[in-house]
Structure 1
Amino acid sequence: MPDYNGSVDYLKKAALRGSRLGLERISELMERLDNPQNRVKTIHVAGTNGKGSFGAMLTSILTEAGYTVGGFSSPALTGITDSFRINCREITKKDFAEVMTEIIPHCEAMEDKPTEFEVLTAAAYLLFFRKGCNISVVECGMGGDTDSTNVLCFPLLSVITNVQKDHTAFLGETIEEIARHKAGIIKCSRPVIYGGTDLTVSDLILREAKKKCSEFYSTDYFRVSDTSSDLSGTEFSFDGMGDFRMQLLGKYQVMNAATVLTAVEVLRGQRINIPDEAVRRGLEKARWHGRFEVVRREPYVIYDGAHNPDGIRSAAESIELYFRGSDIVLLIGVMADKEYGLYTDMLGSRIRKAFTVTPDNPRALASDKLAEVFRAADIDAEPFDDLAKGVCSAYEYAKANGLPLIALGSLYMYGDFMDALNNITE
């Protein structure tokens, strides 16, 4: 009998093994499972930012086109099953328990036992095969070449959304070093798309693609026009494909959508049937939590999982787009390994008051240390070690002053943030 709680407990045990990049353990585990990752057509997605939104849009489009589509992303926002989706719907606890019941004995039989993310990766690939998925969209956890999802041999398409500085302790201090890791998902004779605008990175990825005889495509943002956006949604045109509307918010989402539409064109070239109407419906129906997501409207409360300089910069641009001329109330919690000292320059001019919190994660930066950064920039900041109390105080301040509350930082705190917000009674 599949046991969900036992599966969760096993993952907690695996988490104690830490984060260890490399393909040795995942390769052995997948071999034991008869390599299900090579039995479903997969779109493999790497990149510093935008992976989740890209995956949500493309999965929605492929679902509308009539395929059975698996989706794997990390971190989970509300619970373990949130990392796994079939046709845009979170899997059940029963589904998760069944696949884990099959995987755990193989993990335990290994001398060098897999990490938590390696177990989750194996669960995703096995689940998609067991559920009869025609296509899956799988997101790298970190980097590319040594990420456990890279155990794939023949991806339908590889996508690198962009490359920015992040996870430098694991991936290197320079953009070039990080780009080389992400370019490691390129496979021989399989097409690759680069969605970023950095020409140095583009040249590096192009060289890697040529080495592997892989067709290289890049997103042409000059094809985007007639963009308009407010808090009800976003409209834009993409040359050669028509007009589109999305409910996803954030100035950056049009850029993500342009890469998705480029992927649609490449997939059509791979004989994947994607009707025009499926593209339109899929983009309009796409949903993704934690990316400039409006979670309340009186006052506006928005959560954006911006957690690195590029993400914070994009969030600042979105704040300017939707709240021109208005101050904001900021709630923020980040990991200690992020370049948080840069955040005040990007956000400072708009902040009436900052509420800093400590996410429930061993890598989290203490709220008082983060508050000191804002105070040093002459921004009123109040720290809270208790995230729920911080959310409550920030919300009450925003409501009393008629200002929007913008929550930024680690996606690891999304679930706790939403729980705290939902416990606030009007």
Structure 2
Amino acid sequence: MNYEEAIDFIHSTYKFGSKLGLDNITKLTELLGNPQDSYKIIHIAGTNGKGSTSNMIHDVLVSSGYKTGLFISPYLEEFTERIQINKIHIDKESLAKITTLVKEKIDIMISEGYNHPTEFEVVTAIGFKYFEEQKINFLVLEVGLGGRFDATNVVKNTLVSIITSISYDHMQYLGNTLEKIAFEKAGIIKRDSKVIIYPQSDNIKDVVKNQAKLKNSEIYEVDEKNIRKIKGDITGQEFEYLKKDVFNLPNLKINLLGEHQLYNAATALCTLEVIKKSGYNIDEHSIEKGFINCKFAGRFEIINKEPIIILDGGHNINGIEYFSKAIKEYFGDKKIILFYGMLEDKNPDDVIDYLVHLSKEIYTLTPNNPRAMSSNDMAYLIRQHSDIKVTPIQKYNEILNILNGFDEKEVIAFVGSLYMIGEVRTLIKKDLNLKN
């Protein structure tokens, strides 16, 4: 099959739903020769912060001279974003070739009585095989959903496991308490391994630490007191890492905005300390270079400055809290013009109060996903909470005309589902290129 046929095949497997469990992915990877066993893996689970932490670690390892894979979910604008090596997306020819091979193995599975793998299982298998063929040193592997029964958890050994910020999300699969969700996330911890825990509440950390102890794994708790912020504005943040026993770092700069990104940076640094102590060559220069080179599209990303246009994939209550804090940090009490769209199963009702208090006007959008809440329904929901002006948008190409009507001093933010943010980013980038 060619690239277009490969993409069609992958997306056609969406109909098989999202099924937690490792039987299918275990069989599929066995038929592929267990490619995931051929490189060192940094495995990352959590509700928020996985992508930022993954990218920072990946970019430092690349700066250290290691051929490093990155597996993320979901993609923002192009499918090939999901499978990267050294910041370069999988090429279309490789994707087509490996998808053809994976489909052949799936046909064998089905003939032997197995269920058809889900879309995420198919993509995971493609990624694992590509990384093996490219002979990478490290794979920074982001969990898709949960952890314990996520397809990525077919990996048997990890160099280190990371648990990032945990909050309410995917409760129909993971449970309706933070402790239950933390238990599922902690399912990625392997026996006799190492575990990094993002700074968060004790009830969550206790669950993770208990699972680590049951697996006889070393626990490394990230201490937010090791971060001293020096300065920050919409161009980036500068901070000092006060822990000096492994790295003696100069002041570090990151492009990622918001206080939570400093804690993600601390989590990445703690992970890099563990990797260095495991015998790998990581130094202060590679960290400094990796951090300053790290960019993560769609996460409080300022894509235009006059007017300021922010894109943020805050798609659950924790993400919206981070977004709200960042808006107040960088823009004070200034009211913003908000564009908002969310998936219906993300409990949009819970986050609206955060958003209306920031906004002087709201436009609603329908994310490109079968689970999306329509722009009309979202507008109706917001009106139940506030008398703020709300306008539902029916077609994305209406956005550009609306933006052109705003003053250059406005602050405009698109927030919500990454399926929406990706489409908006493509649209606005194309418009900016046409103007320049």
User: TM-score over 0.5 for the alignment?
Assistant: yes
Shift in Å at residue 331 of structure 1? 0.5
What corresponds to 1:384 in structure 2?
Answer: 393
Distance (Å, rounded) in 2 between the aligned partners of 1:250 and 1:90? 27
Equivalent position to 1:371, from 368, 379, 385:
379
1:297 CA drift (Å): 1.4
Structure 2 gap ranges (5+):
none
Asked whether 1:339 is paired with 2:347, we answer yes
Question: 2:209 aligned to 189, 194, 206, which one?
Answer: 206
- Match for residue 70 of structure 1? 69
2:339·2:362 contact (CA, 8 Å) conserved in 1? Answer: yes
Paired residues for 1:96-111 under 5 Å:
96-111=95-110
Alignment correspondent of 1:415? 422
1:414 and 1:95 mapped to 2: Cα distance?
Answer: 27
2:191 equivalent in structure 1: 188
- What is the identity percentage for the equivalent residue pairs of Structure 1 and Structure 2? 35
Which residue of structure 1 lines up, in the alignment, with residue 29 of structure 2? Answer: 30
| TM-superposed deviation, 1:301 | 0.7
After superposition, residues 312-351 of structure 1 pair within 5 angstroms as: 312-351=320-359
CA deviation profile, 1:104-142 (whole Å, cap 9, x unmatched): 100122121111100100111111111010001010000
Aligned: 1:245 with 2:244: no
Offset at residue 324 of structure 1 (A): 1.6
C-alpha distance in structure 2 between counterparts of 1:423 and 1:59, whole Å: 28
Q: Helix, strand or coil for the counterpart of 2:346?
A: coil
What SS does the corresponding residue of 1:358 show, helix, strand or coil?
Answer: coil
Shift of 1:419: 2.9
* Cα pair 2:229 2:239 within 8 Å, conserved: yes
Give the whole-Å Cα distance in 1 for the aligned partners of 2:46 and 2:234. 27
Question: For 1:401 and 1:127, how far apart are their aligned partners in 2?
Answer: 45
Q: Is the 8 A contact 1:374 1:380 kept in 2?
A: no
SS in 2 for 1:256: helix
Shift, 1:263, TM fit: 0.4
SS in 2 for 1:337: helix
CA distance in 1 between counterparts of 2:91 and 2:257 reads 28
Task: Report deviation, 1:254.
Answer: 0.8
Aligned-pair distance for 1:385? 2.7
Whether 1:265 aligns to 2:264 is no
Runs of 4+ in structure 1 deviating by more than 6 angstroms, as ranges, are none
**Count of residues paired in the alignment:** 423
Q: Is the 8 A contact 1:158 1:192 kept in 2?
A: yes
Shift of 1:233: 1.1
Deviations 1:326-360 (A, max 9, x none): 21110011000112123232122220100001011
- TM (norm. structure 1) is 0.96
Q: 2:163 aligns with which of 160, 165, 168?
A: 160
Match of 2:180 in 1: 177
| Correspondences of 1:198-237 after superposition (within 5 Å) | 198-237=201-240
What is the CA–CA distance in structure 2 between the aligned matches of 1:100 and 1:227, rounded to whole Å? 47
Distance 1:162 1:196 in 2: 7
Checking the alignment, whether the CA contact within 8 Å between 1:163 and 1:201 is kept in structure 2 is: yes
Amino acid at match of 2:171: T
Q: Residue 308 of structure 2 contacts residue 409 of structure 2 at CA under 8 Å; is this kept in 1?
A: no
User: Counterparts of 2:298 and 2:230 in 1: how far apart (Å)?
Assistant: 22
Query: In the alignment, what sits opposite 1:287?
Result: 295
Q: Give the Å deviation of 1:280.
A: 0.7
Alpha-carbon deviation of 1:420? 2.6
What is the CA-CA distance between 1:394 and the residue it aligns to?
A: 4.4
Matching residue within 244, 255, 261 for 2:263: 255
Q: For 1:116 and 1:207, locate their aligned partners in 2 and report how far apart those are by CA, in whole Å.
A: 32
Q: 1:400 — aligned with what?
A: 407
Which stretch of structure 1 is more off in the superposition, 360-369 or 413-422?
413-422
Query: Hey, what does 2:43 align to over in structure 1?
Result: 44
Which amino acid counterpart does residue 209 of structure 1 have in structure 2? A
Kept in 2, the 8 Å contact 1:329–1:394? The answer is no
Structure 1 regions of 5+ residues with no counterpart? none
